[in-house]
Amino acid sequence: MTEISETPPTAIGRRTVLIATGATAATLAVAAAVPESPAPTADKTAPVAAAAVCTLTKEVTEGPYYLDGQYVRADVREDKTGIPLKLTLTVVDDDTCAALSNALVEIWHCDALGEYSGYVGNNGHNEADDGTFLRGGVLTTSSGIANITTVYPGWYRGRCVHIHVKVHKNVTLTSNGSFTGGTELHTGQLFFNETITAKVAALSTYAANTVTRTTLAQDSIYDDGGATSGLLTLTALGTSTSAGYAGTLTLGVESS
């Protein structure tokens, strides 16, 4: 098994922004259900406040596990086990804070055992590899919102728990449920509260991953910047850890 590392973030020309005001956070309520259609979903939250303060942040590395042309879909779980994670990601223009509609928000991440579809075995586990699990994305609504259902990620050697994310504009949807073309506006990563991750890691599905877990504080990519560095706001979906979490964040991108 060959260990694949990721390069720490470097300064990149495109700027990105995450809005982290109390007024904005209040608009990010998560819907009880996530639509399955690949088209823009119905608005689940109010538009981003026009007076929101934009905080610029740099993009971070794409990492070694990206695959082109993944499905446009609201639920990326397929047959993967793990506790539910319902993401609500809001995309806005970094200059005006206006919501960006019809932007494709794409995510990909490892399963509970730390394996990525298309690369199974790199974290030392043998399992079926169909090349598509825990990958995909949706078009944003008129309020710039992307709702995606997945599972809480696991971990692999040298990295804390995280999700990769890209934002594209002007993509063309294809007949096989994927997309092509467009312009990439943002490449980044989403991070998780360490206290919550420790609870998740104790669940049997995740405890089966015996690879030593890198904590948020030990990670080479996360720079301790909170929401401005991609740290999700996590809200419990129930009274137990196994019920899962909702994760919210507002991403701002240079749209032109």
Q: What is the CATH number of the domain that holds 131?
A: 2.60.130.10
Residue 205 has pLDDT above 70, yes or no: yes
Q: Where are the beta strands (DSSP E) in the chain?
A: 15-19, 54-58, 84-93, 104-108, 135-139, 145-151, 162-169, 172-173, 179-180, 183-191, 233-236, 245-253
* Within-domain flag for 4: no
* Within-domain flag for 150: yes
Q: In this structure, is the dihedral angle defined by the CA atoms of residues 30, 148, 206 and 164, taken in order, positive or negative?
A: negative
* Within-domain flag for 96: yes
* Within-domain flag for 42: no
* Within-domain flag for 91: yes
What's the domain range around 171? 84-253
Residue 22 has pLDDT above 50, yes or no: no
Segment 170-184, tens digit of pLDDT: 999 999 999 999 999
* Within-domain flag for 57: no
* Within-domain flag for 214: yes
Residue 28 has pLDDT above 60, yes or no: no
Per-chain mean pLDDT for the chain: 82
* Within-domain flag for 204: yes
Contact (Cβ atoms closer than 8 angstroms) between residue 162 and residue 203:
no
pTM of the model: 0.81
Segment 222-243, tens digit of pLDDT: 999 888 889 999 999 999 999 9
The tally of domains found in the chain comes to: 1
CA distances from 233 to 19, 65, 211, 224, 247 (A): 12, 25, 26, 14, 5
